[in-house]
Structure 1
Amino acid sequence: MNFTRFGRPAVIAVVAALALSSCAANEGAAPETDSASALTGTINAGGSSAQGAAQEAWIAAFQTSNPDLTINYDPSGSGAGREAFIAGGSDFAGSDSYLSDEELAGTFGSCAADTTAVDLPNYISPIAVIFNVEGVDELNVDSDTLAKIFAGTITTWNDPALVALNEGVTLPSTAITAVHRSDDSGTTKNFADYLGQTAPDVWTEKASDTFPFQTGEGAQGTSGVVDAVTNGVGTIGYADASRAGDLGVAKLKVGDEFVAYSAEAAAAVVDGSPLVEGREANDLAFKLNRTTTNPDEYPLVLVSYAIVCTEYADPAQAELVKAYVGYMTSAEGQAEAEASAGAAPMTTDLQDKVAAVLETIK
């Protein structure tokens, strides 16, 4: 995707403030805080648990440079995060799925009257299909087989469909326990969107934050899914790739090849995807191209968003949110997310586009 290049004064201001702080610290004295540039107050936010590791790193770095600022982020899940933001209980929401048309048609408690909210990408990451099967270190799956596992129609690991995809691998007769999110989850919506686009004859339910089938085992949050897969027998699940740890991770069939996830392959899919049609120009929600056959792209990817007001009821709070979201989506913030959470850095064009929207927020 080609975006028009924009200047980034909001991001430059944040980076400049960080640089000044660093220079002063290197001089050896404890400098007085410049009240004209220091950020003071509290930001309350929550939502996406996929963003959890990145948020921890972002908060630590940003609060170090702004010691009078407190940032609280609750990784309660994308659905809970959007609900809290809509109700006015937080300053922004982290969400692995963008605002629905129904949500956009409503009101937002932290926003000024008669204004709305927008989706700003801040975190791109592959979703890993994680598994724990004794004696199995590598696993290939295609979307049709994966859909049948989570829909509950493939129930054992030595099912002929899995055997055919894994030549030379001895798959046991162990029962499959497919672990899904029990809470409203943007990761679930992305997982379901991938299966709905690539295996529509099997995955017939519309993608949503709620897992659609009464099958398998439900677990709360990303950490709950990872724990259930880790501690179970014959388990498989889906989670942000940053949390895969030592679990087995399946390769997905893309075109004629089986592809392992990578930050680069996730970023490539996003770069080739259009924005959602019919929205305001400052809403940067992506319609991801899951049906790619290019093995350099990994289609099971999530774009996570910072959902913010176009105008805040409290202008002072707007400045805090703009500064923090500006940092997260800057080159420095994206490098921090890559180092701490394995995220795929947003392209410079996309960073510029987000910065241009942030300039307009009041």
Structure 2
Amino acid sequence: MKLQRNGRSKALAIGAVALVSTLSLAACGTDNNSTSSNGSTAAASGAASAASIACGKGGQLLGAGSTAQTNAIDVWKAAFGSACSSSTITYGGGGSGAGVQQFNQGKVAFAGSDSALKPAEVEASKAVCKTGQGIDLPMVGGLISIVFHVDGVDKLVLDGPTIAKIFDSQITKWNDPAIATLNPGVTLPDAPIQAIHRSDDSGTTANLTGYLAKASNGAWTYPASKTWAGKGGQSANGSAGVSAQVKQVPNSIGYVELSYAQTNSLKSAAINTGASKPVDATAENAATTFAKAKIAGTGSDLALSLDYATKDEGAYPLVLVTYEIVCDKGNKADTLDTLKSFLTYTISDAGQQAIGAKGYVPLPKELAAKVQAVVPTLA
């Protein structure tokens, strides 16, 4: 992914890595309106900045969609709710596909989606955004971990073609030569692979399959899609469901956001991208990729183009951006003020720092600044 380069790409890369612990991050979404154990900690980290949150008129704000941002929204709701007691943020999960559908039905003020709106979805949004249309605002950076549960195996290296073949039931045993070649010296069991994928339409699936389409050397023959198309395997609902299955089922493998991998103490595979050494699934390595982001949207739409095929040293290729889908114009008058207030907080330095320790990847400052400029213009 590439932002404006103009000789600044190196500086952006350095800055993005540093931002993992200090810079702004933005996200959205949770499956319910409760505060998790992570949320209480985050409330403390956001408390110092609570006085600076502009609460607006208050009221109830409804959102739905991506489960990738569940842990982030718990953090934000705790801090925002503490500062703005007259406002209630309610976010229902169900996946990116369900969120976009509810947004285009006028049921929610914003939707969380891990993939940008398709042209048909933008067109459909015009019926709800009476004087405008739906736009994509990147709010949380993350990465997709290939999580595994294989007895006796603590570290695992995979590459694009091998991941594709595993999730399409072309490789069915853990000691398959393709896996063994990537893991010299590792004792792999002669056991069937239990591959677990999402059952719901998912932006996480869209990003994974987008990666496989670009990095599998043709092994993945399906188009990138929110709907799972691979053969075989087991399915689970939401990132939480996939995490639970991998944790419980021996010799299993799945894909979830880093936040879920950390929360469930799951092991993540390193990816052989063609760089000098395999790249671990860490926020720092994903930040290296985000530093080269390129905006693909036009006007106030800030959809990003992701370079899944990167071979840059230390660049983790399986990155993910969760967008807040909102109307650029034509938002409902009774929720617009609270919507802008909440998004202003989530994209602020304070909001981003509050979730930086929860497995999310800080957005580069230049990109965050672009989002910060768009939010006040929503009408």
Output the TM-score relative to the length of structure 2. Answer: 0.84
Q: CA RMSD in A?
A: 2.0
Task: Look up the match of 2:18.
Answer: none
Residues 112 and 325 in structure 2, CA contact (< 8 A), matched pair in contact too: yes
SS in 1 for 2:324: strand
Inter-partner Cα distance in structure 1 for 2:293 and 2:259: 23
Aligned pairs for 1:181-220 within 5 A: 181-220=198-237
Taking structure 1 as reference, are residues 110 and 70 closer, same or farther at Cα in structure 2, changes over 3 Å only? farther
Task: Look up the match of 2:42.
Answer: none
SS in 2 for 1:259: coil
Matching residue's letter, 2:224? A
Provide Cα deviations, 1:83-104, integer angstroms capped at 9, x if missing partner.
1111101000011111011111
Task: Look up the match of 2:313.
Answer: 295
SS in 2 for 1:289: coil
Inter-partner Cα distance in structure 2 for 1:280 and 1:2: 14
Residues 38 and 68 in structure 1, CA contact (< 8 A), matched pair in contact too: no
Residues 39 and 66 in structure 1, CA contact (< 8 A), matched pair in contact too: no
SS in 2 for 1:257: coil
Task: Look up the match of 2:289.
Answer: 269
1:258 equivalenced with 2:278 (yes/no): yes
Work out which of the residue numbers 170, 189, 194 in structure 2 matches 1:177.
Answer: 194
1:325 equivalenced with 2:327 (yes/no): no
Task: Look up the match of 1:30.
Answer: none
Residues 312 and 318 in structure 1, CA contact (< 8 A), matched pair in contact too: no
CA drift of 1:298 comes to: 0.6
Aligned pairs for 1:81-120 within 5 A: 81-108=99-126, 110-111=128-129, 113-120=130-137
- Give the total of aligned pairs: 334
CA drift of 1:319 comes to: 1.6
Task: Look up the match of 1:63.
Answer: 81
Q: Whose relative contact order is higher, 1 or 2, with alpha carbons under 8 Å and at least 6 apart?
A: 2
Aligned pairs for 1:92-171 within 5 A: 92-108=110-126, 110-111=128-129, 113-171=130-188
CA drift of 1:314 comes to: 2.2
Work out which of the residue numbers 264, 267, 271 in structure 2 matches 1:248.
Answer: 267
SS in 2 for 1:2: coil
Residues 131 and 329 in structure 2, CA contact (< 8 A), matched pair in contact too: no
Inter-partner Cα distance in structure 2 for 1:51 and 1:137: 27
CA drift of 1:230 comes to: 0.8
Inter-partner Cα distance in structure 2 for 1:286 and 1:20: 29
Task: Look up the match of 1:221.
Answer: 238
CA drift of 1:44 comes to: 0.4
Taking structure 1 as reference, are residues 178 and 19 closer, same or farther at Cα in structure 2, changes over 3 Å only? closer
SS in 2 for 1:105: helix
Task: Look up the match of 2:90.
Answer: 72
Inter-partner Cα distance in structure 2 for 1:138 and 1:21: 41
Taking structure 1 as reference, are residues 350 and 174 closer, same or farther at Cα in structure 2, changes over 3 Å only? same
Task: Look up the match of 2:325.
Answer: 307
Taking structure 1 as reference, are residues 109 and 333 closer, same or farther at Cα in structure 2, changes over 3 Å only? farther
Inter-partner Cα distance in structure 1 for 2:110 and 2:5: 25
Unmatched segments (≥5 aa) in structure 2: 7-25, 27-46
Task: Look up the match of 2:377.
Answer: 360
Provide Cα deviations, 1:320-344, integer angstroms capped at 9, x if missing partner.
11111111111111111212x2211
Matching residue's letter, 2:302? L
SS in 2 for 1:226: helix
Give structure 1 regions of 4+ aligned residues with deviation exceeding 2 angstroms: 18-23, 36-39, 107-111, 312-316
Taking structure 1 as reference, are residues 329 and 240 closer, same or farther at Cα in structure 2, changes over 3 Å only? same
Inter-partner Cα distance in structure 1 for 2:310 and 2:49: 45
Inter-partner Cα distance in structure 2 for 1:332 and 1:129: 30
1:2 equivalenced with 2:4 (yes/no): yes
Aligned residues with identical type, % of pairs: 38
1:48 equivalenced with 2:33 (yes/no): no
Inter-partner Cα distance in structure 2 for 1:19 and 1:142: 43
Matching residue's letter, 1:359? P
